[in-house]
Amino acid sequence: MNFNFKNLKEFFRDKSRDNLYQNLKDIGVDCNLAERGLNEEKLFNPWHRRSLGLININSDEPIKYINIIKQDGGKNNPPRWWYFFAIPDNKIISKDKSIEVKSIRRKSTPLIGKVESVNWEPNSNSNNLAKIFTDDDDINSLSINLGDIKVQSLHDNFSGFSIELEFKVKEKKLDSDSWKSLNKIARHCLDINF
């Protein structure tokens, strides 16, 4: 019997990054898989999670890379994936002026119902941004279709903003409208005056 550990390892390797990369290529986004071990893999990557690697975005859009983070499942909990769409910016934002806006999806019946609306919950520095998102049907549709979204400013080793999505790529895919809406959120972040 010819047993190849390399093939076995490839078979079991998490392919979430590969799947999102192919999804982005399919909708016409110019992107590439980044080499492993880059400093940006540390973005929102605490010790109990691991980065699956970056996808570089090679366009004029404000989103420049995506970091995919995975938390392995355990006996009583399934694995989870987070997708951080990074918007680098030269502005240094102090922590006391940090922004954070989260979408809260409202369902017709809690837990199992259809999502009917989205509310945007801001921190004290993000009321204007929350209002912009609330008034934008495209951004609200993005949250309805893909799940809750968290937008926040970055600090310490990273400057700029991040859009966080938590979903399974196998279950949900980005389409060109979703990609446009993500970049619309990114542009709104870059336009904020501090």
Q: Which one-letter DSSP state was computed for residue 36?
A: T
**CA–CA gap between residue 82 and residue 49 (Å, rounded):** 10
pLDDT attached to residue 4? 65
Tokens of 158: 């990273």
pLDDT of 160 > 50? The answer is yes
> Can you give the pLDDT at residue 72?
84
Digit-coded pLDDT (tens) for 32-45:
999 998 888 887 76
Task: Give the per-residue pLDDT at 125.
Answer: 94
**78-125: per-residue pLDDT in tens?**
888 889 999 999 888 888 899 999 999 888 777 677 878 899 999 999
Residue 24, pLDDT > 70, answer yes
Kindly indicate the confidence band of residue 1, based on its pLDDT and cuts at 50, 70 and 90.
Answer: very low
Q: What pLDDT, on the 0 to 100 scale, is given for residue 194? A: 60
Token pair recorded at residue 54? 């970056």
Report the percent of the chain where pLDDT is more than 90: 54
Res 43: pLDDT: 73
* CA 148 from centroid of its chain's CA atoms: 10
144 to 99, 114, 137: CA distances (angstroms): 22, 9, 10
Place of tokens 């060109």: 176
Residue 24 and residue 46: Cα distance in Å, rounded?
26
What's the confidence (pLDDT) of residue 99? 94
Q: What would the two tokens of residue 41 be? A: 């893999």
